[in-house]
Amino acid sequence: MFGLGRAYWIILAALGGLVGLLALDRALPPPLPSADAVSAAVRDRHGEVLRAFPVEEGRWRLAADLDRIDPDFLDALLAYEDERFHQHWGVDFPALVRASRDSLAAGRIVSGGSTITMQLARLIEPRERTLGAKLIQMARALQLEIRLSKTEILELYLTLAPYGGNLEGVRAASWAYFGREPDDLTIDQIAMLIALPQSPEARRPDRQPERAVRARGRVLERLASVGLASPQAAADAAGDPAPMRRPFPADAWHAADAIRRAAPDMREPVSTLDRSLQLMLEDSLADELADTDETVQFAAMIIETETRAVRAMAGSASRARPGGWIDLTDRPRSPGSTLKPFIYGMAFDDGLAAPGTRIADLPRRFAGYQPDNFDRSFRGDVTIAEALQHSLNIPAVTTLDGVGARRFNAALGFAGANPLRPRQAGQDDGLAVALGGAGLTLRQIGVLYAALADGGEARPLAWQETALDDFAPVGSFRLLSAESADEIVRVLRRAPHPGGRMPALLARGAPDIAFKTGTSYGFRDAWAAGIVGGYTLVVWTGRADGAPREGVTGRAAALPVLFRLADGVSQLAPRGDMGVDRQAEPPEETPQTLADFRADAAPHILFPPDGAEVWSDRAGRGFILAAQAPGPVRWFADGETVSENALGEPVWIAPGPGFYAVSAVDEAGRTSEVRVRVRGAGQGAN
């Protein structure tokens, strides 16, 4: 009985001690670093790092992933630092006893006997090296082993281990000293990465190269003694010089920053960027700077048309020049003549014109607006195709007047390219947008031209490769019909090329390039946008502060860069990525009814649209009607005249639920009609 009672109290005491330890563990948990305490790194579509971002105080700390670290390095690290790592629970007592014995025998500290888990405890909770601190590290190590797996402990250690200066973690050190990920290391690189954390400041290769080499040599000897390196390889590697420090990856500066800010919770987002295309783009823009003054900048994008994936983007050509730190692809600028293809495309859709339609290029005033051609000359009767290819202004404004400026601006907005109108524009009809009288960003121009290349369907740009895994078009808007878009692209392909700048590869059978240039008022912005194979390209050049560059046009300054990029895309993109030639079929002949441009079409009813269902939440509810027409319009609903309110707006009050015919009649008697259904309270959808 006495034996059973004693065992009872022993068990009870053990349980009480365990409960106490658990309570203490809960009350004083180890201060694990937060998930966002590591550097972000944006990767390209193939997983290559494009740009890394430091954490607080400019420190580089990249998250370690054992699956991406050389297994030989991991084996060598454990053999050198903690050979029983996978057997102990954070504290290796035999190793502590051995370290104490060796230190006493040598009369100095030979080794500390600390496990990797104990070293991790010291990294997350630094303390002076005392006996009390050692005991706390041992307790923290046990807490870490309870909370984390061995893989997590090793990854966290390799993320936080100091490597001198502002370098923390094996990945940061590998990038800084070897210029690459630690996924395939040589034996001398392995030895250096093991030696540095033991005394990171005293052994920094960039400041103490001799000490770094000696420390690496001692590690190599140890690795050779345990069979992880051949004696000859260790001897050969010991004579190599210390590595020099290198800059961290900083490609796609602006694009990577935009992707990181768009996905703040992702440690290393995989972008849609392609590193080979990105470097080609950056090099091409940098080369162009040699022929410009120090105030000029370039910005450009390469978009994969089918998926809308941004494969390359440069917000500036040089951060050493004014405005270079600004992402100029996301700043509204005057688009010049780059919107003209869409004006004509909408005219094709409306049945107002075709490529062969004749239109007058003669002086003309539109209410208070009188545009002029760029060269101050007029060509008389021209075809729509000729007007677009030579970027004539009067025909473009005439066509926009027929299409309707407000309707055109609204369509661009629905497509994702909402024009930014000047404040002083007031309530005018907005015809100046045809010549660049509204602000658009380079990204928005890219959205529009990608739509033109893809049968007129506008979709948002894609920036993360993971979004393309289960690719399905979302957020689309039919800007132009496929037939009209293809007609416009065919016209642009036949535009005259600048002499001497035809890309060599394009001339040898690569896909033709369809392009359009633009120059803003006062020579502030020069543009070129093009479609080549399966890619859409946009180039802008100018001064970041918007100051003019007298006489510099899109054709002279931006188009050569566009051709150079098209040449680079043809070299780097696999042939399968160049896309299908949608516009290969010959254009149709111009119908006789479209031989001459006529902007006097019947009114275009904007609201209500044909086939719409409108909701009347109460009796007597009125609806304001709207139409695009050159003059006043009279309205009728089922033959009854629609009255106007005090502001002169037509207000239709439906007698009740049902189907109605709403028509608009202009001064010349031309009529348009739509059929609508009015639903009232209590009516559900079928």
The predicted-structure confidence for 268-320, as pLDDT tens digits, reads as follows: 999 999 999 999 999 999 999 988 999 999 999 999 999 999 999 999 999 99
CA dihedral over 433, 435, 441, 442, signed as positive or negative:
positive
Q: What is the pLDDT of residue 634?
A: 92
Instruction: Confirm if 169 and 154 have CB atoms less than 8 A apart.
Output: no
Q: What is the pLDDT of residue 469?
A: 59
Instruction: Confirm if 78 and 151 have CB atoms less than 8 A apart.
Output: no
pLDDT in tens, 97-155: 675 565 555 554 545 578 999 999 999 888 777 777 778 888 888 989 998 999 999 99
Tokens representing 519 are 């120059």
Three-state DSSP at 17 gives helix
Three-state DSSP at 385 gives helix
pLDDT band at 579 (very low <50, low <70, confident <90, very high): low
Three-state DSSP at 541 gives strand
Give pTM, 2 decimals. Answer: 0.79
Using N-to-C axis directions, what is the helix angle for 187-195 and 71-81, rounded to 10°?
A: 40
pLDDT in tens, 100-112: 565 555 554 545 5
Q: Which helix (H) or strand (E) segment is 664 a member of?
A: strand 658-666
Give the separation between CA 224 and CA 232, rounded to whole angstroms: 9
Using N-to-C axis directions, what is the helix angle for 559-572 and 275-288, rounded to 10°?
A: 150
| 62-238 and 602-680, same CATH topology | no
DSSP-H helix ranges across 198-325? 209-225, 231-238, 253-262, 275-288
Q: What is the pLDDT of residue 681?
A: 58
Q: How far is CA 423 from the centre of its chain?
A: 30
In Å, how far are 43, 260, 314, 533, 557 from 257, measured between CA atoms?
Answer: 12, 5, 11, 29, 28
DSSP-H helix ranges across 575-641? none
pLDDT in tens, 24-59: 666 677 777 765 689 999 999 999 999 999 998 899
Catalytic residues: 81, 337
Beta bridge partners of 474: none
User: Where are the chain's structural domains?
Assistant: 1-30, 62-238, 602-680
- SS3 letters for 507-524? HCCCCCEEEEEEECHHHC
Tokens representing 213 are 């080499």
Instruction: Confirm if 465 and 271 have CB atoms less than 8 A apart.
Output: yes
DSSP-H helix ranges across 462-518? 482-493, 504-507
Q: Is the CATH number of domain 602-680 3.40.1800.10? A: no
Q: Which helix (H) or strand (E) segment is 607 a member of?
A: strand 604-607
Instruction: Confirm if 528 and 554 have CB atoms less than 8 A apart.
Output: yes
**ω into residue 608 within 30 of 0, thus cis?**
yes
Tokens representing 165 are 């200066």
CATH number at 62-238:
1.10.3810.10
Beta bridge partners of 152: none
Task: Report the chain's terminal Cα–Cα distance, integer Å.
Answer: 84
Q: What is the mean pLDDT of residues 187-216?
A: 94
Three-state DSSP at 500 gives coil
Give the separation between CA 389 and CA 517, rounded to whole angstroms: 10
pLDDT band at 252 (very low <50, low <70, confident <90, very high): very high
Give the separation between CA 587 and CA 589, rounded to whole angstroms: 7
